[in-house]
Each structure stands twice: as structure tokens, then as C-alpha cells.
Chain A
Amino acid sequence: MTEYLAVLIFIFAGVGIVLVTFLISRLLRPDHDYPEKSLNYECAEEPVGTSWVRFNNRFYIFALIFVVFDVEAVFLFPWAVAFGQLGLYALVEMVLFIAILMFGLFYAWKKGVLKWA
């Protein structure tokens, strides 16, 4: 339990550092704001249109594939640690599990999902 408590205190220490540096810099820095300064940076031109632009929906598909494989990694970690006691049977089962996922990856690959055109 103390191990996790130490991490918790460490988190607070990290937050403390951020707050203190922000505070010090707030006391020290100048503040001369004018309207042009608080425009978004767009190569010194006035910004055109909205900032929340559309982007390629391929990113979304990558996120989907990522979720699948991240879950796989979550299963793999405890399996790898307990591996010494589990032996061959568990290995074969895990290879099957990985093979199914890899089949999914190759399906996506052949479908052209992973291609950036």
C-alpha cells in the first residue's frame, strides 16, 4: 500500500511544481496585450475560416485497430509473467489468439485501410 501512497504523493509534488512555476512566471512576466497579438498564428495573415477543420477519417480507423491490439497487449502482459507455470498449452492458446488478431490486421491491410493515398 505504501508503494502506491508514495506515487500519490509524487503526483501531488508534480502538480505542485507546475503550479509554483506558473505562479513565479505570472509574477515576473510582462503583460502587454493588444487585439492583433491574441489572434491565432497563421503566418502573419488574418486567420481564415474556423480553426476546427476537417481531417482525414482514416485516423479514426487507425484508432479502432489500435483499440483491438491494445487489448491484446493487456492480455499478453499477465500471460507472459505467469508463463513459467503455464507451459506449452497456454502458449498454443495464446498463439491462436494472436493469429486471429494478426488475421484481422492482414484483412485490414489487404482492404487497403492501412494505405495513405
Chain B
Amino acid sequence: MLEMVIITLLKIIAVLAVVLTGCAYSTYLERKVVAAMQHRIGPSYAGPYGLLQPLADAVKLMFKEDIIPDNVERWTYAMAPAISFIPALLTFAVVPFGMDMTIFGREIKMVLSDMNVGVLFVFAITSMGIYGIVLAGWSSGSKYSLLGSIRSSAQMISYEISYGLSIVGVLFIANTLSLSELIAQQETILDWFIFSQPVGFLLYVTCAVAETNRAPFDLPEAESELVAGYHTEYSSMRFSMFFIGEYANMLAVSAVGTVFFLGGWQGPFTEQVPILSFVWFFVKVFMFMFVYIWLRATFPRFRYDQLMNFGWKILLPLAVVNTVVTGFFVVL
């Protein structure tokens, strides 16, 4: 029992360390990649190649004054950043980072919680994040925040349906809700669900971008109209909670998408060198993140009516058709 607890605690520390470092360096990656795409240099002063920039940002935000406007709803205002940050973190509880390994004679799963309803857990937790945004916008007592959060919630619920349906095709083929089971079924590259579910994959990627409020779907924080959307009135650490939460969400949907469609940690030579499974996983997540940043550097923002039309009139029917067609294929 004690052994169990210690292992769980160690795993939690490891997951937190990996995810938070990942978030910090995603910001660095984004700035560097966007800079390269726009023929700039990007952060380059803090440390070699600007590698310490995330650390410098964190320290700077720590030292910033926390300005709370007079007419906010204090409790909800204070809690909203945490409500949007914690669910983003929680997704990683069920994501397998690598293959099972034997360490000090013990068989250890490289996942914090290998629950049999992992897929449901992921979708439940992902949709929790919206509460943080709605509460933040409503409690800030600012018009920009309110409009930003209303927009954001409408956008997220619109795309959440297609987001959920995009994965049903995979569930048809795999017949399981456990993430490690899903990975086990994608042993060789030809088994990857991206090849049996190409439409599902495209739907997943599109909806994931919309779910995380990233460009070109970053309407909630369209800075030319709404200042910063739902976090206009936030400063200091509270602001950085939203910021880290956004990147944690991106990492989460990337990691989960990797598990669903790209075989998770599966890759060549994992049997001989188990450590390689981590490398494959991180490489795949990195590719997802790169596409995210690439999209941001490439596409202009949608207009709101285009966004809603796209979600309800194109993505949703497409997702439904994909589900039904896959169902017939599996049966026949």
C-alpha cells in the first residue's frame, strides 16, 4: 500500500514537472517559430538562443502588481483562473507517456491513472475548462470580458459536439475507452487510426484548435475588438494562470490526439530500448504543437458568423456522416 502511494506521488511529481516545463517551453517554441516565419529572430537575450526566456517571463509575472478592479465579483474573480488551469492539467492524468517499464524490479505503468473510461474522462475534463472562462468574463465586471466570455462559451460548445463525434469512429474500430488499450491496438504505423479515420482526424484537429481558442478561431480574445477578451481585467499571477492553462490545454489536446490517431508512444525499436517510447511520444506531440503554431502564423482570424456557420453547418454534419459511414463499414 505504502509502496503504491509513493509510486503514485512520484508519478504526479513527474507529470507535473513534464507538463509545466512543456507549457513554459511551448511559449518559447511559439515565439521562435512565429518569429522565423516572419523573418524575425525572436527571444534571444536570456540565455543561449534565448532558452531562459520562459523562466524570465515567469519571474517577471511573479513580480507584477495584482490589480483587482473595484466592481468585480471577488470570489469568482479570484477562483476563475484556477478553474481554467486545473482541468487543463488534469487531462494528463490518463495520458500514457511511454510503454510499461520495469524499474527496480517493479512493473510500472507510465501513466498516472490507467482508468478504463479514459476517453470519457478526457472529454469531461476538457469541457470543464469553459467554466473558468465564463466565470472570469462574468465576474470581471467589464464589457470586453463579458462579451469575450459569451463568445468563447458559444464557440466552445459549438465545436465540442463535433470534437466528441470525431472520436466515435475510432471507438467503433477499437471498441474500448481506455487510452492504453487504444495505444496497444496501434502497434505498427499501418494500424494508426489516422489511416482508418482520416476524416475523423481532420475533424479532431480542427475542433481541437477551436476548443483551445487558438488562431484562426481565437475570437474570444480578438485583440482588435475585445482587448484581451475574458482575461482583460486580469494581471500578475492570475493572468499567467490563464496563459499557462491555454498552453496546457494545447498540449493536452495534442497528447490526446496523438493517442487517438498517431499511435501514442508506439514507434520503431521501443521493444529494445523502452526509453525511446517517450521520445516518440514527445516527437508526435511536438509535431501537433508545431502545426498549431503554423496555423497561427498562416491564417487570418474567422469572422464570428463564419465561425458559427463552419461549426454547425459543415463540421457537425460531416462528423455525423463520418460516424454513420464508419459504423456501416465496421458492420459490413
Contact = CB atoms under 8 A, between A and B. Distances in A.
Interface of A: 2-7, 9-11, 13-15, 17-18, 21-22, 24-26, 28-33, 37-42, 47, 51-53, 55, 59, 62-63, 65-66, 69-70, 72-73, 76-77, 80-84, 87-88, 91, 94-95, 98, 102, 105, 109, 114-116
A88 to B, nearest CB: 5
Given A28-B62, A98-B324, A88 B331 contact: yes
A39 B70 contact: yes
Contact of A66 (B65, B70, B157): B157
Interface in B229-245: 232-233, 236-238, 241
B295 to A, nearest CB: 23
Q: Give the secondary structure class of B's interface.
A: helix
B93 interface: yes
Interface in B287-329: 304-305, 308-309, 312-313, 316-317, 320, 323-324, 327-328
Nearest to B332: A88
Contacts of B168: 73, 76-77, 80
B150 to A, nearest CB: 5
A18 B176 contact: no
Contacts of B154: 59, 62-63
A53 B320 contact: no
Q: Give the secondary structure class of A's interface.
A: helix
Contacts of A66: 157-158, 160-161
Interface in B125-163: 138, 140-144, 146-147, 150, 153-154, 157-158, 160-161
Contact of B90 (A4, A14, A77, A109): A14
Contacts of B157: 62-63, 66, 70
B165 A25 contact: no
B237 A9 contact: no
Interface stretch (B41-49, B109-117, B271-279): B109-117
Most buried by B among A30, A39, A81: A81
A25 B62 contact: yes
Interface residues of B, number: 79
Interface of B: 4, 8-9, 11-12, 15-16, 20, 61-71, 81-82, 85-86, 89-90, 93-94, 112-115, 119-121, 138, 140-144, 146-147, 150, 153-154, 157-158, 160-161, 164-165, 168, 171-172, 175-177, 227, 232-233, 236-238, 241, 304-305, 308-309, 312-313, 316-317, 320, 323-324, 327-328, 330-331
Contacts of B304: 116
A97 B85 CA distance: 36
Most buried by B among A21, A51, A63, A116: A51
Contacts of B146: 51-53, 55
A62 B308 contact: yes
Contacts of B64: 25, 29
Contact of B114 (A3, A5, A18, A82): A3
A53 B143 contact: yes
B69 A38 contact: yes
Nearest to A10: B93
Contact of B160 (A33, A42, A70): A70
B161 A25 contact: no
A88 B66 CA distance: 60
A105 B142 contact: no
Contacts of A7: 90, 93-94, 112-113, 115, 121
A28 B63 contact: yes
Given A7-B112, A42-B142, A62-B154, A14 B86 contact: yes
Contact of B115 (A4, A13, A18, A47): A4
A24 B240 CA distance: 13
A18 B82 contact: yes
